[in-house]
Amino acid sequence: MNGSIALTDAETRLWGIRRRGDALTLRPSAWMQLGAAAQITIAVAFLALLHRLGAQRQLLVGVAAAFAVVLMALFQGLGAVVVKPDGLTTWWFGRQQIPWDEVETFRVGAHSPWWGGGWPPFDVVEVSLRDGKTITLWPTRSGAATDGRESPATVQCGLLERYRATLGA
């Protein structure tokens, strides 16, 4: 790569995009953080209520459930995609490295989360690989565009395409 990629105004407005030299880190954006923060807030309030009521044996199930909610919310918010000159590395439900020569295209897709039955679908960035597989970059999940602007997933998809194009320059 001849130089580090410059971020556009739309990209710098997104909370989840960070640049360090030639590396980009894409973290969950928009509704993902809001949902995780809401889960943690509710679980902590539930724990405080349980503490106030007393630690009776039948309340242990509620305490365990609250801790499970907090852990799931933290796990959802900690995922990341690291973009470097040698490829993509996804950190979510494990670590997966994808070299650039295996990437065919990036596109924006829509998926409903498995944990949110009945929720409207989220825009996500999908990576099509040369072997026919498609990998969904869930950490870049975002809601639909507002105020006539592009959705965060569309912005991130464009950034990934530009980054890959600069590698060939």
Q: What is the pLDDT of residues 4-30, one digit of tens each?
A: 688 888 888 777 788 888 899 887 665
Q: What is the C-alpha to C-alpha distance for residues 18 and 37, in angstroms, rounded to an integer?
A: 20
Q: Does residue 142 sit within a domain? A: yes
Both 25 and 40 in one domain: the answer is no
118 domain residue, yes or no: yes
Number of domain units in the chain: 2
Query: Same domain, yes or no, for 61 and 24?
Result: no
- Give the other-Cβ count within 10 Å of 26's Cβ: 25
45: confidence class by pLDDT, cuts 50, 70, 90 = confident
Indicate whether 55 and 69 sit together in one domain.
yes
- C-alpha distances in angstroms, 73 versus 4, 22, 33, 78? 33, 30, 9, 9
**24 and 93 share a domain?**
yes
Quick one: which H or E segment has residue 137? strand 134-142
Residue 10, in any domain of the structure: no
Domain that holds residue 67: 35-74
In a domain, 5, yes or no: no
DSSP 101-134: GGEEEEEEEEE--TTSTTPPPEEEEEEEETTS-E
pLDDT for 53-97, tens place per residue? 765 656 666 777 777 777 776 666 677 899 999 999 988 777 899
* 94 and 66 assigned to the same domain: no
Q: Is there a single domain that holds both residue 96 and residue 147?
A: yes
4 located within any domain:
no
Predicted pLDDT of residue 149: 75
Do residues 54 and 94 share a domain?
Answer: no
- What predicted TM-score, i.e. pTM, was given to this entire model? 0.74
If one counts every other C-beta atom within 10 angstroms of the C-beta of residue 39, the result is 19
92 with 154, same domain: the answer is yes
Question: In terms of domains, do 93 and 21 share one?
Answer: yes
CA distance 25 to 19: 6
